[in-house]
Homo-oligomer: A and B are copies of this chain.
Amino acid sequence: MQFGPEAADGLAEILRWRRDVRHFRTDPVPPECLARLRQAMEMSPSVGNARPWRVIQVQDAVLRRAVHDSFVATNADAAATYDAAARADYLRLKLAGLDEAPVHLAVFTLADPAEGRRLGRQTLPETLTQSTAMAIHAMWLMARALNLGLGMVSILDPQAIERIFAVPEGWHFAAYLCIGWPEFQDDTPLLHRLGWQENTAPEWQVR
């Protein structure tokens, strides 16, 4: 397979317009879109081909409420760590679309999967975390290509989430994803636009 120049240009456009979405419409996501998001995860790289991520699609209202309550408590604790001016800025941000997004996914990483046979992770166990993150990113980009929005909620207590879902031993909480149709589109991160953290260029040394 030899790609033409339109492949890199098309990918760059998807990367450019992908945002962490927290403003959702409430209309449903068709099952065929969700299937494509799952397929994107399954085409992403993983250490030793272990595919260590596990997904719980959360439809139950009681479970959703428990996650929502955990977010509210954790977010209040986080806000309290800032001085008054920064706290006011922080509290003005909408940091999750939990109330509106029609699709909720809780994503976990296996701490020690049999799959992969330990290849590539013996000295760097964080490769499992990296694999799940890359799978989420594949889903995120596919969502954007389908004109869906995805928001990654990390303002949660991982132990609390593992208790809410009573996950098996060795499942570590990675992220909670909100997915749905975005209320608006932007090629600029909201945290940059709102002045919380502007875009910076990470250091790239040549030695």
Report the interface size class on chain A: 35 or more
A48 and B197 contact, CB distance less than 8 A: yes
Contacts of A14 in B (CB 8 A): 3, 7, 11
Cα of A86 to Cα of B114 in the assembled complex, Å: 14
Contacts of A156 in B (CB 8 A): 123-124
Q: Ordered nearest first, which 5 A-B pairs have the shortest CB separation?
A: A130-B133, A133-B133, A15-B43, A8-B145, A49-B197
Report which A residues bind B (CB closer than 8 A). 1-3, 6-8, 10-18, 20, 36, 38-45, 47-60, 63, 74, 77-78, 81-82, 86, 90, 93, 95, 115-124, 126-127, 129-134, 136-138, 140-142, 144-147, 152, 154-158, 165, 173-175, 185, 187, 189, 191-192, 196-207
